[in-house]
Amino acid sequence: LLESFPDVDENMASTARFELAYDEFKNRNMDPFNEFVNKFSTSHMAQQALSLMARFYKDSDNKVSELGVYARMLELYPNNPRTLNGYAWRMAEMELNLEDALAKARYAVELTAIDKDFQAGILDTEAEVLWKMGRFNEAILTIEKSLRINPSSDYFMNQKAKFVNAKKDARKHVPA
């Protein structure tokens, strides 16, 4: 169809090319997704393609390729709070690049100042990174910001309990 209708609008063309690339992706061929991202990097579908590739590499335990996808995402979308937050959370899970992850999470918090519900989740990511860094007091203070935005969140309350318990455990293991 793309060959038969070369004058189709950009949105329809990118949607069709995404679907074709997605079919190849399901067969573990990343090349069409990479080509799609190169050609349509401003499309929200390019971000989706990169997210799917990152998830694929995560599930395949291919950290090198996964980190490469995150690097590309950050290069293409350095001011996208979802990209920044996703990267920071994944780095916390992997316990890699934690200083960079913290900087990216904090920037995402700034970018979402007018969307408090979204910001609460990013503050959770910031707290998670701080926890992984052993900065328990800061993690507790940060998750409390999430709780001020959404005080009824069981998830945020459980996160706070996790950070408080980690702080208590760390004190038990400090030599006298």
Contacts of residue 45, defined as CB under 8 A and 6 or more positions apart, other chains included, come to: 14, 15, 18, 36
Residue-wise pLDDT tens digits, 66-99: 999 999 999 999 999 999 999 999 999 999 999 9
176 confidence band (pLDDT: 50, 70, 90): low
Size of the chain, expressed as the number of residues it contains: 176
pLDDT digits (tens, 9 = 90+) for 31-67: 989 998 998 888 889 999 999 999 999 999 999 999 9
Which ranges constitute the DSSP H helices of 27-115? 31-39, 44-59, 63-76, 81-94, 98-111
- pLDDT score recorded for residue 122: 98
d(C-alpha 40, C-alpha 36), whole Å: 6
pLDDT digits (tens, 9 = 90+) for 121-159: 999 999 999 999 999 999 999 999 999 999 999 999 999
Q: Which secondary-structure segment (H or E) carries 164?
A: helix 154-172
Q: In the prediction, which pLDDT does 2 show?
A: 52
For residue range 149-165, list pLDDT tens digits in order: 999 999 999 999 999 99
Count of CB atoms situated within 10 Å of the CB of 36: 25
